[in-house]
């Protein structure tokens, strides 16, 4: 049986994920999404992966959530409220969600994963092994990942740039 810490983190994560999608105001949804990401980081800590948990908090709670909150602030107030939601489509969505949970959950329980004693009592992965893997076997991937990040940041800047500013008459004399 699962321990109480796990149940608390699970309720926090799933509950704040639902709140992120269902609350009326988008900014509360962004904050709930940040709390959901913190819950996922808590799961990583329960899985003895402190480095991934730290990375998750730094990237998701530190960068992504703040970015989303700034975008929500840029969008004006009438866009912040979810208007006109089709009741029929919502019912269909909830049905789809329940069918997914039931079918995939049954598949997981029937699959015999709970009989097979997984290696949770084996010693956890050393953080040194992680660093060694990332800097030897996965070193090219790391370089390409850095280039991808740089490219996407430049692309985001180019997308969000205002072009009207350049077209205004330039009053400087140079």
Partner 1 sequence: MSELIDFLIVAVVLVAIGVYGLVVKRNAIRMLFSIEIIANAANLTLVAFSRGIPNAQGQVFALFSIAIAAAEVAVGLGLIIVAYRLYKEVDVAEYKSLKG
72 scored as a contact of partner 1 (CB under 8 A): yes
- Tell me if 23 sits within 8 A of 100, measured CB to CB: no
In angstroms, give the least distance from the CB of 168 to partner 1: 16
- The most distant pair of C-alpha atoms in the chain lies apart, rounded to whole Å, by 78
85 scored as a contact of partner 1 (CB under 8 A): yes
Size of the site for partner 1 (CB under 8 A): 81
Binding to partner 1 (CB under 8 A) within 115-154 occurs at 118-120, 122-125, 129-130, 133-134, 138, 141, 145, 148-149, 152-153
Residue 43 burial by Cβ neighbours in a 10 Å radius (0-12, 13-18, 19+): middle
90 scored as a contact of partner 1 (CB under 8 A): yes
Instruction: Please give the structure tokens belonging to residue 38.
Output: 């913190």
Candidate residues 74, 77, 165, 172; the one interacting with partner 1 per rule CB under 8 A = 74
Dihedral of CA atoms 36, 38, 39, 42 in degrees, nearest 10, equals 170
What mask of x and - would describe binding to partner 1 in positions 1 to 20, judged by CB under 8 A? -xx--x---x--xx--xx-x
Binding to partner 1 (CB under 8 A) within 20-39 occurs at 20-21, 26, 29-30, 33, 36-37
> Which residues are CB-neighbours of 65 under 8 A, at least 6 positions away?
30, 31, 33, 34, 37
In angstroms, give the least distance from the CB of 35 to partner 1: 12
């Amino acid at each position: 049986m699962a321990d109480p810490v796990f149940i608390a983190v699970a309720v926090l994560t799933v509950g704040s994920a639902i709140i992120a999608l269902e609350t009326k105001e988008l900014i509360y949804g962004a904050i709930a999404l940040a709390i959901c990401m913190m819950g996922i980081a808590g799961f990583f800590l329960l899985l003895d992966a402190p480095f991934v948990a730290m990375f998750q908090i730094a990237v998701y709670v530190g960068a992504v959530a703040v970015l989303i909150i700034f975008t929500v602030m840029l969008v004006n107030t009438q866009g912040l409220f979810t208007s006109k939601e089709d009741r029929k489509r919502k019912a269909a969505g909830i049905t789809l969600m329940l069918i997914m949970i039931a079918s995939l959950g049954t598949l997981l329980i029937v699959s015999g994963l709970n009989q097979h004693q997984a290696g949770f009592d084996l010693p956890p992965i050393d953080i040194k092994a992680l660093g060694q893997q990332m800097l030897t076997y996965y070193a090219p991937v790391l370089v390409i990942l850095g280039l991808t990040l740089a490219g996407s940041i430049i692309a985001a800047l180019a997308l969000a740039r205002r072009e009207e500013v350049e077209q205004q008459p330039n009053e400087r004399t140079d």
